[in-house]
Structure 1
Amino acid sequence: MNELKEVLMLATREAGKIIQAYFQGSFTIENKEGINNLVTEVDKRAEEKIIEIILRHFPSHSIISEETGEKLQDSPYQWIIDPIDGTVNFAHGIPICCVSIGLLHNNELVLGAVYNPMMNELFFAEKGQGATLNGVPISVSAKKDFRRACLVTGFPYKWPNTTEHPIKVFERFILEGLPVRRLGSAAIDLCWVACGRFDGFWEYNLSPWDVAAGYLIVQEAGGRVTNFAGNAFSVFDKETLATNGHIHDEMLRLILHKNGIEKTI
Structure 2
Amino acid sequence: MVNYQKLCEKTVKIARETGSFVKNFRLNNTPNVETKGKNDFVTQIDKASEQKLVEALGNLLPEAGFIAEEKTSDKVGKKFNWIIDPIDGTTNFIHGLFPYAISIALQEDDQIVLGVVYEMGLDECFYSWKDAPAFLNGEEIHVSKTPTVADSLIATGFPYSNYQLIQNFMETLTFFMKNSHGLRRLGSAAVDLAYVACGRFDAFYEYNLKAWDVAAGAFLVQQAGGKVSDFKGGNNYLFGRELVSGNALMFEEMQQTIEKFMKKEKL
Q: TM-score with structure 1 length normalisation? A: 0.91
The answer to whether residue 142 in structure 2 is matched with residue 139 in structure 1 is yes
Partner Cα separation in structure 2 for residue 215 and residue 69 of structure 1 = 23
The answer to whether residue 53 in structure 2 is matched with residue 50 in structure 1 is yes
- 2:176 alignment counterpart: 173
- 1:229 alignment counterpart: 232
Q: Could you tell me how far 1:234 is from its partner in structure 2?
A: 4.0
The answer to whether residue 18 in structure 2 is matched with residue 15 in structure 1 is yes
**Per-residue displacement from partner, 1:115-143 (whole Å, max 9, x unpaired)?**
01221100001121010000100000011
For the 8 Å contact 2:148–2:253, the answer to whether it is kept is no
The answer to whether residue 6 in structure 2 is matched with residue 30 in structure 1 is no
- 1:88 alignment counterpart: 91
For the 8 Å contact 2:106–2:115, the answer to whether it is kept is yes
- 1:60 alignment counterpart: 63
Q: 2:28 is paired with a residue of what secondary structure? A: coil
Select 1:216's aligned residue among 184, 202, 219. 219
Select 1:197's aligned residue among 185, 200, 208. 200
Distance 1:11 1:258, change over 3 A: closer
**Per-residue displacement from partner, 1:51-70 (whole Å, max 9, x unpaired)?**
01112233331101001166
Which one is further off, 142-151 or 65-74? 65-74
Which one is further off, 66-75 or 236-245? 66-75
For the 8 Å contact 1:14–1:50, the answer to whether it is kept is no
| Aligned AA (1:172) | F
Partner Cα separation in structure 2 for residue 183 and residue 38 of structure 1 = 17
Q: TM-score with structure 2 length normalisation? A: 0.90
Query: When the two structures are aligned, how many residues end up with a matched partner?
Result: 260
Q: Could you tell me how far 1:245 is from its partner in structure 2?
A: 1.6
The answer to whether residue 111 in structure 2 is matched with residue 108 in structure 1 is yes
| Aligned AA (2:97) | I
For the 8 Å contact 1:160–1:205, the answer to whether it is kept is no
> Where do 5+ consecutive residues of structure 2 fail to align?
none
Partner Cα separation in structure 2 for residue 163 and residue 56 of structure 1 = 42
For the 8 Å contact 1:127–1:216, the answer to whether it is kept is no
Which one is further off, 62-71 or 109-118? 62-71
Partner Cα separation in structure 1 for residue 102 and residue 58 of structure 2 = 18
Distance 1:87 1:258, change over 3 A: closer
Partner Cα separation in structure 2 for residue 15 and residue 108 of structure 1 = 25
User: Percent identity, aligned pairs only?
Assistant: 37
Which one is further off, 13-22 or 203-212? 13-22
Distance 1:117 1:74, change over 3 A: closer
Select 1:149's aligned residue among 152, 158, 164. 152
- 2:79 alignment counterpart: 76
**Per-residue displacement from partner, 1:141-181 (whole Å, max 9, x unpaired)?**
01113211110000121226449531222222123254000
For the 8 Å contact 1:131–1:137, the answer to whether it is kept is yes
Calculate the aligned-residue CA RMSD, in Å.
2.1
Q: 2:170 is paired with a residue of what secondary structure? A: helix
Q: Could you tell me how far 1:81 is from its partner in structure 2?
A: 0.5
For the 8 Å contact 2:65–2:75, the answer to whether it is kept is yes
Q: Could you tell me how far 1:30 is from its partner in structure 2?
A: 1.2
| Aligned AA (2:117) | V
For the 8 Å contact 1:169–1:255, the answer to whether it is kept is yes
**Per-residue displacement from partner, 1:28-65 (whole Å, max 9, x unpaired)?**
1111111x211111111110000011122333311010
Distance 1:77 1:254, change over 3 A: same
